[in-house]
Amino acid sequence: MIDVKGLSFAYRRHTPTLMDVSFQLGPGDILSILGPNGCGKTTLLKSILGFLPINPKTVFINSHPVESYPRSFLAKILAYVPQFHGGVFPFKVLDMVMMGRTARRKWGGFDRQDIQKAHQALERVGISSLANQTFTELSGGQKQLVIIARALAQSSQFILMDEPTSGLDLSNQTMVLRTMKRLHETEGLTFLMTTHHPEQALYLGGQVLMMRAGRVVSLGAARLLTTAAAVEDLYGLEAGLLESMGLVPACLGNA
C-alpha cells in the first residue's frame, strides 16, 4: 500500500510545488494523476520514490515511511518508468532489462534466474524478438516497452510511470497503453501513472487524481470524474470549449 499523508514540498522557499496532498493506492489498483504542466505530478511521483528530501512521515510504503527504507529494499517494492531515459550508451535490450535485477544481487553480475526473469519480462510485454537489438536504435514506443519490461523484471509491487506516452506517436501510445491494461487485467499489476491525457485515464480505468497548482482537486473513479466539464475546469478552459472545437473524445462526452 502506498499511503500519502498531507505531503507538501517546495524546491524553493515560499513557492510550494506540492501542498497537503493525500491519497492511498492499494495492490492491484491503477491511479492516473492528471493535471496541467507544472501542477506537481512529477514531483509527487519523485516524492513517493524517495528521490526528493520530503518531510518525514508524509509518504508511507507498506506502512513504513519511505525515508526509512534502504534504496536496495525500496527497489523491490517500487519500480519506476521515467519520462525520459537518461542512458547514452548503446546497451543491448536484454542487458537493459536485466538491470531491473540490480537490487536483487549484492555482488558481481547476474545469475541464471536473473536472465530467465529478464526474458520473461520481455515476453510479458510482447517484445521477446528485440532481446538482442540495441536499445538506442529502437523506436520511441519500443524503448518505452523495454523500460516497462525492466520494471517488470524488477518484480516490484508497484510500477510508477511518469507520462509513459510522452513524445510518442499515436500508434506507439496505443501500444504502451494496451500493454499496461493487459498487464493490469491479466496479472493484477499496480500502476501509478502521471498523464496529460484524460482519455488515457479513462481507458485504463481505476482511479484518477486531478491536480492543480500542487493541490488535489478531486480523487475518485476515473469513469465518474473524467468528464469534459471537469477537464475544462482542470486546465482552465472555457466551459464547452472542447465540445465546440470538436475535441471531446466520445468517452469524455458520455461520461
Partner 1 sequence: MNKRFILILSLVFLASLILVIPVGRYPVSALEIVSSLWERFFVPNPSLRAEEVSYLFLSVRLPRILAAILVGSSLSLSGAVYQSIFRNPLVSPGILGVLAGASTGAAVGIVVFSSWVMTQLLSLVGGICGVTLSLTLSRLYPRSPLLALLVGGLVSSSFFSAVTSLFKYLADTDNQLPELVYWLMGTLSRATGTQLSWVAPLMVLGVLYLTLCGRVVNALSLGDEEAMSLGVDSRRERLKLIGLATMICSLSVVIAGIINWVGLVIPHVVRLIIGPNNLTLLPASAILGALFVLLTDTLTRSFWTAEFPLGIFTSLICLPLFAVSLWKAGLDHD
CB of 237 to partner 1, least distance (A): 32
Non-local CB neighbours of 178 within 8 Å, separated by 6+ positions? none
CB of 243 to partner 1, least distance (A): 39
Binding mask 100-139 for partner 1 (x = CB under 8 A): x-xx-x-xxxx-----------------------------
Binding mask 56-75 for partner 1 (x = CB under 8 A): --------------xxxxxx
Among 5, 64, 92, 119, binds partner 1 (CB under 8 A): 92
Q: Which is nearer to partner 1, 9 or 235 (CB)?
A: 9
Q: Which residues on neighbouring strands pair with residue 60, listed in sequence order?
A: 3, 65
Q: Which is nearer to partner 1, 154 or 207 (CB)?
A: 154
DSSP 41-81: HHHHHHHHTT-S-PPTTSEEETTEEGGGS-HHHHTTTEEEE
- The terminus-to-terminus CA distance of the chain in angstroms comes to 29
Distance CA 60, CA 57 (A): 7
Distance CA 61, CA 82 (A): 20
Distance CA 227, CA 198 (A): 9
CB of 84 to partner 1, least distance (A): 9
Cell readout for 125 is 510485454
CB of 97 to partner 1, least distance (A): 11
CB of 114 to partner 1, least distance (A): 10
Of 156, 228, 213, nearest to 41 by C-alpha is 213
The amino acid occupying position 84 is F
CB of 34 to partner 1, least distance (A): 22
Binding mask 25-54 for partner 1 (x = CB under 8 A): ---------------------x--xxx---
Interface stretch with partner 1, choices 12-20, 81-89, 190-198, 243-251 (CB under 8 A):
81-89
The H or E element spanning position 9 is: strand 2-12
- What does the binding site for partner 1 look like in residue numbers (CB under 8 A)? 46, 49-51, 70-76, 78-80, 82, 85-92, 95, 99-100, 102-103, 105, 107-110, 154
